[in-house]
């Protein structure tokens, strides 16, 4: 199965049926008069959020959806039958964007939330409407109105309370396996995770939150290196970022430098995203045998980063320290939810922040996509590409869709 988080779809609402010009013809009714009925209304096109899919793969293969037109009017003042509406199912978290105006038509963040995306045309008028004292036998009828035709972009962002970020092999997939029922692939090589993974963290009765494992970032990701920022947009809806750092990387790199790489990529991609509340996870502490050495190493990392926020030490492989993290997250999320319900000003501020984040993420993603396409066009035309690695072949598809295949 393919994970598709963007798709370009053409939708055409149904045209209205035509009105007709008809006259009543019955025995003993010598002057029956006009009796032409109106045309039926064309079908509307809606999108509806469902929870039985987490990809837009269906819209990769079928890119146009047309609603039926309304029936023409009938004699005896009978209107034509209106056409049925059509409903397009999309995952929760899908944003609908008009490609012509770049306007966000709607954002589906709740189960069974429905949005009208193309309005069907009204039916034409039969000649009955044109009858008057001076024109008792009108032969005029009008055609139905055309339904709306739109080219839309469906953009999926996973809906999660907590987003896991960090370099490849930092332990993000192992962490989400420990605290939830999610089963992402885990291996000892980078970029094991190629698509976002969602897991529900169940704390107890009526206490749970959703966590998203975002594919690993690397230095230069905001400019297209590695997987680029293809999936970074998926943390735009989260309340917290869980930054996982390997305290003793197997490649001998400095964990402080590794953490700074992620900080810098977040800031370059979206300053608003970098300002989300973050929690630092010092992971793989089981690799340091000596307790004093471990304390010294963790203290050094925190001091070098000038970190003043919450810090946890974990061994995701052994399950050590993960319970403390998930209980802390649950308490923080519950407090934030309660405050949003009780304090309308805080709720409005939160909503405004996420709206700014949505806009910033979308604009930055589109800017990188356009830069990549320009570079590919230049390459095809035989001109020189930039000297840096900003536009490797793993950045974006040359199509309008982004496609990633699930790891086997």
**Annotated binding residues for Mg(2+), as ranges?**
173, 193
CA-to-CA distance for 92 and 244, rounded, in angstroms? 27
Annotated binding-site residue numbers: 166-173, 191-195, 213-216, 283-286, 315-317
* CB neighbour list of residue 190: distance below 8 Å, 6 or more residues apart: 168, 169, 216
DSSP labels for 42-61? PPPEEEEEESS----THHHH
Q: How many CB atoms lie within 10 A of CB 388?
A: 10
The secondary structure of 154-204, three-state, reads EEECCCCCEEEECCCCCCHHHHHHHHCCCCCCCCCCCCCCCCCEEEEEEEE
Q: Are 144 and 18 in contact (CB under 8 A)?
A: yes
Q: Are 69 and 106 in contact (CB under 8 A)?
A: no
User: Measuring CA to CA, which residue among 118, 103, 98, 99 is closest to residue 47?
Assistant: 118
Q: How many CB atoms lie within 10 A of CB 339?
A: 12
User: Measuring CA to CA, which residue among 51, 55, 157 is closest to residue 96?
Assistant: 157
CA-to-CA distance for 187 and 125, rounded, in angstroms? 67
- Calculate the dihedral angle through the C-alpha atoms of 51, 57, 63, 68, rounding to the nearest 10 degrees: -30
∠ Cα 247 217 250 (to 5°): 35
Q: How many CB atoms lie within 10 A of CB 172?
A: 31
∠ Cα 192 59 87 (to 5°): 130
Q: Are 33 and 139 in contact (CB under 8 A)?
A: no
User: Measuring CA to CA, which residue among 215, 210, 219 is closest to residue 232?
Assistant: 215
Annotated binding-site residue numbers for GTP: 166-173, 191-195, 213-216, 283-286, 315-317
Q: Are 18 and 42 in contact (CB under 8 A)?
A: no
């Amino acid at each position: 199965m393919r994970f598709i988080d963007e798709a370009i779809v053409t939708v055409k609402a149904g045209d209205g049926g035509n009105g007709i010009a008809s006259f009543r013809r019955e025995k003993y009714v010598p002057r029956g008069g006009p009796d032409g009925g109106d045309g039926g209304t064309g079908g509307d096109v809606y999108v509806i959020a469902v929870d039985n899919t987490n990809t837009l793969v269906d819209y990769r293969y079928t890119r146009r959806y047309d609603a039926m037109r309304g029936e023409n009017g009938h004699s005896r003042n009978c209107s034509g039958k209106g056409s049925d509406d059509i409903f397009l199912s999309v995952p929760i978290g899908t944003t609908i964007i008009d490609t012509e105006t770049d306007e966000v038509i709607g954002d589906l963040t709740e189960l069974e939330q429905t949005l009208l995306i193309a309005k069907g045309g009204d039916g034409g008028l039969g000649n009955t409407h044109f009858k008057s004292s001076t024109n008792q036998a009108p032969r005029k009828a009008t055609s139905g109105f055309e339904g709306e035709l739109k080219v839309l972009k469906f953009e999926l962002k996973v809906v999660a309370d907590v987003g896991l970020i960090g370099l490849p092999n930092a332990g993000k997939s192992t962490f989400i396996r420990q605290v939830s029922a999610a089963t992402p692939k885990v291996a000892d090589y980078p970029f094991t995770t190629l698509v976002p993974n969602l897991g529900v963290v169940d704390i107890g009765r009526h206490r749970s939150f959703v966590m998203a494992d975002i594919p690993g970032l690397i230095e230069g990701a905001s400019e297209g290196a590695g997987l680029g920022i293809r999936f970074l947009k998926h943390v735009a809806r989260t309340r917290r970022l869980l930054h996982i750092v390997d305290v003793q990387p197997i490649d001998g790199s400095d964990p402080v430098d590794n953490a700074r790489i992620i900080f810098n990529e977040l800031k370059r991609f979206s300053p608003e995203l970098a300002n989300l509340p973050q929690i630092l996870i010092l992971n793989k502490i089981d690799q340091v045998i000596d307790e004093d050495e471990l304390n010294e190493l963790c203290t050094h990392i925190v001091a070098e980063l000038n970190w003043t926020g919450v810090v946890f030490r974990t061994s995701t492989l052994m399950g050590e320290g993960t319970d403390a993290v998930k209980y802390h997250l649950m308490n923080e999320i519950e407090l934030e939810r309660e405050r949003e319900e009780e304090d309308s000003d805080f709720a409005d501020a939160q909503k405004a922040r996420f709206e700014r984040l949505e806009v910033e993420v979308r604009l930055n993603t589109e800017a990188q996509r356009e830069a990549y396409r320009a570079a590919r066009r230049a390459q095809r035309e035989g001109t020189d590409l930039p000297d840096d690695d900003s536009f490797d072949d793993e950045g974006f598809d040359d199509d309008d869709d982004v496609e990633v295949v699930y790891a086997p």
